[in-house]
Amino acid sequence: MRALLIDDERLARAELRRLLAAHAEVEIVGEAVNAADALAQIGALRPELIFLDVQMPGGSGFDLLAALDTAPKVIFTTAFDQYAIRAFEVSALDYLPKPIQAARLAAALHRAGAGQGRPQSPAAAPGWDKIFIKDGERCWFVGLEQIRLFESEGNYTRVYFDGERPLMLRSLSQLEEKLDPARFFRTSRRHIVNLDFVRRVRPGEAGGLDLLLPDELAVEVSRRRAAQFKSLAGM
């Protein structure tokens, strides 16, 4: 598993390197000292896992995750328990309080899936399947398979999943570029729907269609896109 270490403290990165040396299944592909540096390295190196400090100069670990279109697996490494515990509880992320204990690191790597299957090269690595959403003080780390609908609200997008509807600072067009077109269909200028959640299709207005999702959500497919949907759905 390809890993990136993100921490502004050189000694903290060195200690984590020492501990990770006992785990041959983890390949450290780089180090970053702040959020901006990490953002560039994640784009270039495409790590499968990042070890992320919470408080860093110029932007927190949460700020970094919110700036990513999609994120690799995340293990927080921090001396500030209150932030890490909030991230773990709200976003189901793992965290390692400093000083990091070898046993806790091993358990975190197991949860991250390290060692389960042979390592892959960056070219062969699977696409990331989670996005990080930060709306005010709340954070989520959500699998794309959980998301049933993206709804445009200007430069923001409302994300529907598991009874939650937070806003993320991404336009619908930005998200569309990253999503699998075989699963996520752009129904109109306002919506992208996860086809796995479509329960029923009915005729809509002006030659369009209405897609009915759980919780009585109805999503309009424009007339221009209705033919494309019918072809995709084999109708």
125 band by pLDDT with thresholds 50, 70 and 90:
very low
Tell if the pTM clears 0.85, that is, is over it. no
Number of H helices, E strands in the chain: 7, 15
Q: Give 71's strand partners.
A: none
How many residues belong to the chain? 235
pLDDT higher than threshold 50 for residue 183: yes
pLDDT higher than threshold 50 for residue 109: yes
Q: What is the pLDDT of residue 116?
A: 59
Q: What is the pLDDT of residue 92?
A: 47
- Do 229 and 185 touch, CB atoms closer than 8 A? yes
Lowest mean pLDDT: which of 31-35, 139-143, 192-196? 139-143
User: Residue 29: phi, psi to the nearest 5?
Assistant: -95, -10
Q: What is the pLDDT of residue 123?
A: 37
157 band by pLDDT with thresholds 50, 70 and 90:
very high
Q: pLDDT by residue (tens digit) across 24-53?
A: 999 999 999 999 999 999 999 999 999 999
pLDDT higher than threshold 70 for residue 130: yes
Q: How many CA atoms lie within 13 A of 32 on its CB side?
A: 29
Q: Catalogue all structural domains in the chain, each as residue range(s) with its CATH number.
A: 2-112 (3.40.50.2300), 130-233 (2.40.50.1020)
